Amino acid sequence: MPEEKKCAGRRQFLRCGLIGLTAIAGLQARNVRAQDTPKSTKEQAGYQDNATSDTCAVCALFIKPHDCQIVQGPVSATGSCNFFTA
């Protein structure tokens, strides 16, 4: 019987290790996909430097002080584009 307990412990260790490696690989794959996605140009996004509503400052994609997750180049907090997300 002691031999069976050793095997069960090894199996559990290997199973947990495999689950952990799978989770890490999944996270790394997600990060690679996000980095590989090119940003849109300001022209493609319909970016305007001085908008009257839906400004970058309140957009979920805006990265302070002057960057965006999906539009290239510096963007103004008072700007806006077609990708505005509240």
Tokens of 14: 């290997």
Confidence (pTM): 0.57
Percentage of residues of the chain with pLDDT beyond 70: 64
Strand partners, 48: 80
Q: Which residue range is the domain that position 72 belongs to?
A: 39-86
47 residue type, one letter: Y
Same domain (yes/no): 25, 67: no
Phi, psi of 67 (to 5 degrees): -135, 165
- The helix (run of H) or strand (run of E) holding residue 63 is strand 62-63
pLDDT band at 9 (very low <50, low <70, confident <90, very high): confident
Could you tell me the CATH number of the domain that includes residue 50?
Answer: 4.10.490.10
Structure tokens at 66: 């002057």
Q: What is the pLDDT of residue 57?
A: 95
Residues 28 and 56 in one domain: no
Q: Look at residue 65 and give its three-state secondary structure.
A: coil
In this structure, the answer to whether residues 86 and 51 fall within a common structural domain is yes
Residue 72 and residue 45: Cα distance in Å, rounded? 9
- Res. 12 pLDDT band, cuts 50 70 90: confident
Q: Are residues 54 and 85 in the same domain?
A: yes
28 and 51: one domain? no
Assess whether 29 and 48 both reside in one domain.
no
